Structure 1
């Protein structure tokens, strides 16, 4: 390839790149940015405003790129050395210090910044808090970050002699209403992010923070901690489920009820433990969701609100007993049954959630058995295994540095605990 061909090749590649970038912008990038945590395909006014600022910035920078690229290509082609004599020729007249050129560049830069700044300032004011005209209709919740899961409190949904309604890792809200979220943390800095509904806002120790969002219609949305907060930061996730107002009211009424109790029977469950052998085994980094769940997660959530048809009451009763014996009640609460723990997720209606382990795994028998059996492999550094377990003597560190757990569960015990937790609808 001759050196003289390089400018032409560069020019062609520049035009192709610019065309591809323009096509991506015009199409909304939907052909490659429509995933669960897409910030391009949005579902609420806050995310829509933030996307608008993003595209304005993209257009401004694209125009700058095209202008600079065109000038560079023009200068490269016009002043390239065509002969050997040209390579030793005097450089062309320079325009350095030309006041018109420099003032023009300054003016163009100020104009570009202004085009970006005004929509950005408007977006900052708009997304900071619920617009005044909508505040009376806003619904309030409080989200608290832990290492590595989210605690949700509904201050306006009071339970008699208990306090506010509390859930974990799945935030259920009414669609079509502004949701004001108070952000708190109990340990380090976390960041609350629902890409399709609202941008990231930090949860800072000893400092109140907030954001708001609105889901335009019912849907199932993925959330994520967006601030590095420790060993399992990347798997600190949550879900937002938006429902029509009537369905949301029904969910609240159900959540206010004590934990569901399945009456034990004299039924023989001698073969029940053997069923555990059918539960899957997983590699440490195996995915946590089935393809079936991913097809329609909102329908999967609705299906989880109803008891399983093939429950084994005797096995559930055994699981409840094991839940007490292994001191799970020290950290967890199952309202109406046992436990007063606040350092771990509230499990009163855990069977009605689609996810476990801080939104990392699908809440089915296989994944729940995986989580109970090997929480350290699923979410390294989690307090259930290392922190609180070590304080209570369940986890010891050998002289070799090896960490050993003293909580020993048989396959049958894991199966019983799974049955009990899944019965808590």
Structure 2
């Protein structure tokens, strides 16, 4: 069933007030999981999933209030009526009061059955995957995300994939299928729908959606290691026309060929081959770049790195991400605890508990690799950050600012 139903006219004022309260509550409860410049909201009514859960919750909250008032009234009424200073005789016994016992059993049963029916109805609306959906596969690893579009084969081979930034269309159901490559992780972007755990060896599918274009914050919601709090991602929701433009350009994308003797060309060589004389490993061994020999799967896909606005799975954004790129390449585990990326300053790092010796690249060589990565851009018309509002931003950098 389609959950993108319109809000009920008779409840328009109420349906605007309660989400504001839920947003405030969500911001309080999720303080430890929110980006410094972007607030998460469990009361975002732009999502059909959230609207369905909202109306189910209204009944649960209303019944809870009624029960609280009823029990409180009965308690205070009884205490006041049967106070010891008003009655000298021993209190009357009512053991075997069948009518009272029936009431105490039947009323809770009715309430539980009613709430169960509402829950089953919401599950029936939310759980089945509709026919006309956008399918996206999610791979979670310590401590990053890969988002693949299985229905969008790339001309250069494989399918369209992006690291740490997921692009979805608005006003359409998006079926997410998630798994984990190591430990249990949790995918949750509250503005667009519910959360799911990513389990190793298991694939789980559910639907999310939003009616409002914008960039939303997402986080890992399951404690998964040293950089759990730094395992973030962005959800970029585009109007269907812009989304189709992105997918078309992404399918046709091939990494640009650097100009001879340029910084990008030197960076390309280091990216693909590393530097054997100093033990510096090639980036291509772990990362994929569409349209090049780089086809690694141990790290995030870097095909559109220059278009992305974030770095380090959302640790830094905008201009700050650009500033941190050099340090990120040079010694990733230093700036992000638990990162499995090799070091390029000769420092030691750990992989699966084993100490490894990092290779060495000079600062100039690291700058060349940075220049190559920043050259990996989608065409301007397919830049999904361009003009996209950041939902819940609080003093964030301007939309469209990229690395």
TM-score tier after normalising by the smaller chain length: 0.7 to 0.9
Q: CA deviation at 1:189?
A: 2.6
What is the alpha-carbon distance in structure 1 between the residues aligned to residue 284 and residue 374 of structure 2? 16
The one-character-per-residue Cα deviations of 1:263-288 (angstroms, maximum 9, x if unpaired) are 256xxxxxxxxxxxxxxxxxxxxxxx
The one-character-per-residue Cα deviations of 1:212-244 (angstroms, maximum 9, x if unpaired) are 122213222222222333332333222221112
Given that residues 23 and 43 in structure 2 are in contact (C-alpha distance below 8 angstroms), is that contact kept between their aligned partners in structure 1?
A: no
Going from structure 1 to structure 2, the CA distance change for 1:396 and 1:110 (only over 3 Å counts) comes to closer
Find the counterpart in structure 2 of residue 259 from structure 1. Answer: 255
Q: CA deviation at 1:161?
A: 5.1
Q: CA deviation at 1:402?
A: 12
Given that residues 184 and 199 in structure 2 are in contact (C-alpha distance below 8 angstroms), is that contact kept between their aligned partners in structure 1?
A: yes
Q: Classify the secondary structure of the residue corresponding to 1:156.
A: strand
Going from structure 1 to structure 2, the CA distance change for 1:225 and 1:31 (only over 3 Å counts) comes to closer
Find the counterpart in structure 2 of residue 61 from structure 1. Answer: 64
Matched, 1:241 2:236: yes
What is the alpha-carbon distance in structure 2 between the residues aligned to residue 24 and residue 65 of structure 1? 25
Q: CA deviation at 1:413?
A: 4.2
**Equivalent residue for 2:294, pick from 329, 339, 343:** 339
What is the alpha-carbon distance in structure 2 between the residues aligned to residue 65 and residue 353 of structure 1? 50
Find the counterpart in structure 2 of residue 285 from structure 1. Answer: none
What is the alpha-carbon distance in structure 1 between the residues aligned to residue 120 and residue 90 of structure 2? 46
Going from structure 1 to structure 2, the CA distance change for 1:24 and 1:126 (only over 3 Å counts) comes to closer
What is the alpha-carbon distance in structure 1 between the residues aligned to residue 365 and residue 85 of structure 2? 83
Matched, 1:316 2:264: yes
Find the counterpart in structure 2 of residue 45 from structure 1. Answer: 48
Going from structure 1 to structure 2, the CA distance change for 1:37 and 1:129 (only over 3 Å counts) comes to farther
What is the alpha-carbon distance in structure 2 between the residues aligned to residue 374 and residue 394 of structure 1? 8
Q: CA deviation at 1:205?
A: 2.6
What is the alpha-carbon distance in structure 2 between the residues aligned to residue 75 and residue 409 of structure 1? 80
Q: CA deviation at 1:419?
A: 2.9
Deviates more, 1:404-413 or 1:250-259: 404-413
**Equivalent residue for 2:226, pick from 225, 231, 239:** 231
Q: CA deviation at 1:116?
A: 1.4
Q: CA deviation at 1:198?
A: 1.7
Q: Classify the secondary structure of the residue corresponding to 2:24.
A: coil
Find the counterpart in structure 2 of residue 172 from structure 1. Answer: 167
**Equivalent residue for 1:395, pick from 321, 345, 348:** 348
The answer to which structure, 1 or 2, has the higher relative contact order (CA under 8 A, 6+ apart) is: 2
Q: CA deviation at 1:196?
A: 1.6
The one-character-per-residue Cα deviations of 1:251-308 (angstroms, maximum 9, x if unpaired) are 123323112344256xxxxxxxxxxxxxxxxxxxxxxxxxxxxxxxxxxxxxxxxxxx
What is the alpha-carbon distance in structure 2 between the residues aligned to residue 408 and residue 67 of structure 1? 72
Going from structure 1 to structure 2, the CA distance change for 1:76 and 1:23 (only over 3 Å counts) comes to farther
**TM-score calculated relative to the size of structure 1:** 0.70
**Equivalent residue for 1:381, pick from 338, 350, 354:** 338
Deviates more, 1:367-376 or 1:351-360: 367-376
What is the alpha-carbon distance in structure 1 between the residues aligned to residue 72 and residue 43 of structure 2? 27
**Equivalent residue for 2:179, pick from 161, 165, 184:** 184
Query: Alpha carbon RMSD of aligned pairs, Å?
Result: 3.3
Going from structure 1 to structure 2, the CA distance change for 1:202 and 1:26 (only over 3 Å counts) comes to closer
Going from structure 1 to structure 2, the CA distance change for 1:93 and 1:361 (only over 3 Å counts) comes to farther
Q: CA deviation at 1:417?
A: 3.3
Going from structure 1 to structure 2, the CA distance change for 1:80 and 1:366 (only over 3 Å counts) comes to farther
Greater Rg over alpha carbons, structure: 1
Going from structure 1 to structure 2, the CA distance change for 1:383 and 1:124 (only over 3 Å counts) comes to same
Deviates more, 1:38-47 or 1:415-424: 415-424
What is the alpha-carbon distance in structure 1 between the residues aligned to residue 185 and residue 56 of structure 2? 24
Going from structure 1 to structure 2, the CA distance change for 1:52 and 1:321 (only over 3 Å counts) comes to same
Find the counterpart in structure 2 of residue 157 from structure 1. Answer: 152
Find the counterpart in structure 2 of residue 280 from structure 1. Answer: none
Find the counterpart in structure 2 of residue 424 from structure 1. Answer: 376
What is the alpha-carbon distance in structure 2 between the residues aligned to residue 190 and residue 396 of structure 1? 23
Unaligned runs of 5+ in 2: 1-13, 28-38, 275-279, 378-403
Structure 1 segment 104-143 matched on structure 2, within 5 A: 104-131=103-130, 135=131, 137-143=132-138
What is the alpha-carbon distance in structure 2 between the residues aligned to residue 38 and residue 159 of structure 1? 35
Given that residues 50 and 199 in structure 1 are in contact (C-alpha distance below 8 angstroms), is that contact kept between their aligned partners in structure 2?
A: no
Q: Classify the secondary structure of the residue corresponding to 1:347.
A: coil
Going from structure 1 to structure 2, the CA distance change for 1:75 and 1:405 (only over 3 Å counts) comes to farther
What is the alpha-carbon distance in structure 2 between the residues aligned to residue 197 and residue 27 of structure 1? 14
